[in-house]
Structure 1
Amino acid sequence: MESTKAIPWRIDWATMRFTYIGPQIEELLGWSQASWLTVNDWAERIHEEDRQKTVEFCVAQSQKGVDHEADYRAITRQGHHVWIRDVVHVVRRPDGSVESLVGFMFDISARKEAEDKIVQLQRELELLSYRDSLTGVANRRMFDTVYPAEWVKARDSGHPLSLVIIDIDHFKQYNDHYGHVQGDECLRRVAHVLNAAAADPDELCARLGGEEFVLLLPGTDREAAWSKAERCRELLAAQEILHACSGVGRLVTVSMGIGTIVPGAQDDAKVFLDRIDRRLYQAKSAGRDRFCDNDA
């Protein structure tokens, strides 16, 4: 066991009274050795969130004559809690009936704290795995997870689903002129603008890769998707990110492909995504700094 604080105890099954508990219990929980009289004293000193399931489990296992272990939070006399592992052996008479319970309480607080830290780290890593490390918006993995789910929801509900795929105009020339450090900062600023435009809780802004982003807009019809695209352009223009080698203007601009669909049974999410991607390239071919919402 992780701790040397192993506290022995014994309970008489017929009376449900402690016939012994080790004196170490007072050092661990603050309750005097003499205060542990019945199983009620034990139960009442279990954290209320753990009490019912712990008591019911231990009673059920004991009635079956099965040795068992239980982890729970015990309440100290000062009102704090300590994680306990109770290891229980059921002593039976020759006829199989239960005579007593004997066991040890172990302080496993350090182990639980370490486990909690591991779980928290795992959660943080999972969140990071769905975030683009450079810009902080969702990454392609997140989009590939959320998009199919939103497609199914839209199909089942009959509500529209819109996509806006965005590409920074002449970004290679920006990088070549200003350098990659400034290029990274440009990506971050554009991502911040797009993420601000997709501010509703159900909406998603993701970086697909390079200088390409996507807005996933559930429940958004064609007109609202247009408005969202225009909002992106307005917010980006307000940033006034200089681009001396744009060929479009003096500031960083974007091109966008837009589409809205109410998915039917015969529609395919990948086909729709490819269609919006083609519209993006139509916008670029038409001169950039614009959006396209129809097929050529």
Structure 2
Amino acid sequence: MLRDVAEQIWLEQESSSANLKLAQLATTDGLTRLANRRSLDAFLRERTPSSGFSVLLIDIDHFKGFNDALSHQAGDSCLKQIAEVIGSATKDTGGLSARYGGEEFAVVLPGVNEARAVRVADA
């Protein structure tokens, strides 16, 4: 009986761990490891206009040409590096950095005024 209980506990822990990984996969962009569009939409739904927030939209100009000329692997590597910079610049802001689309990123900064948002964007 002790073995059955220990096995049941182990199975519950494995199930919980698998559910946590699945939730993370469902909310994270597989390439950049930033939040995905689904996470961004959920994050925005939780915000109220009265609480105030700033949004940075970042679009990588001429990315298609870069991707076509240098290969999709080079493009993926570029996107990963850009995501790392965006994540680093926004990690202490309490905001959310997300991959919005192919070469588009969004950063939501709750409670951050325009002047501070500009500093984050410059970083």
For the superposition of Structure 1 and Structure 2, which TM-score range results when normalised by the shorter chain? over 0.9
Counterpart of 1:165 (choices 46, 57, 68) is: 57
Alpha-carbon distance between aligned partners in 2 of 1:201 and 1:169, rounded to the nearest angstrom: 26
Counterpart of 1:193 (choices 73, 85, 90) is: 85
Deviations 1:53-93 (CA, angstroms, capped at 9, x unpaired): xxxxxxxxxxxxxxxxxxxxxxxxxxxxx8xxxxxxxxxxx
The equivalences for 1:55-74 within 5 A come to none
**Greater RCO (Cα-Cα under 8 Å, separation 6 or more):** 2
Which runs of no fewer than 5 residues in structure 2 stay unpaired? none
Secondary structure class of the residue paired with 1:144 = helix
Secondary structure class of the residue paired with 1:164 = strand
- Is 1:129–2:26 an aligned residue pair? yes
Counterpart of 2:45 (choices 148, 161, 164) is: 148
CA shift for structure 1 position 143: 0.4
The equivalences for 1:130-279 within 5 A come to 130-149=27-46, 151-152=47-48, 154-155=49-50, 159-200=51-92, 202-231=94-123
The equivalences for 1:19-168 within 5 A come to 107-149=4-46, 151-152=47-48, 154-155=49-50, 159-168=51-60
CA shift for structure 1 position 191: 0.5
Alpha-carbon distance between aligned partners in 1 of 2:82 and 2:32, rounded to the nearest angstrom: 9
Q: Which has the higher strand share?
A: 1
Alpha-carbon distance between aligned partners in 1 of 2:96 and 2:105, rounded to the nearest angstrom: 10
Alpha-carbon distance between aligned partners in 1 of 2:72 and 2:62, rounded to the nearest angstrom: 14
Q: Which amino acid aligns with 2:104?
A: E
Identity of aligned residues (%): 37
Q: Which has the higher helix share?
A: 2
Secondary structure class of the residue paired with 1:228 = helix
CA RMSD between the two structures? 1.5
Which runs of no fewer than 5 residues in structure 1 stay unpaired? 6-27, 29-81, 83-106, 232-296
Deviations 1:94-122 (CA, angstroms, capped at 9, x unpaired): xxxxxxxxxxxxx4210221121011110
> Which structure is larger by alpha-carbon Rg, 1 or 2?
1
CA shift for structure 1 position 193: 0.4
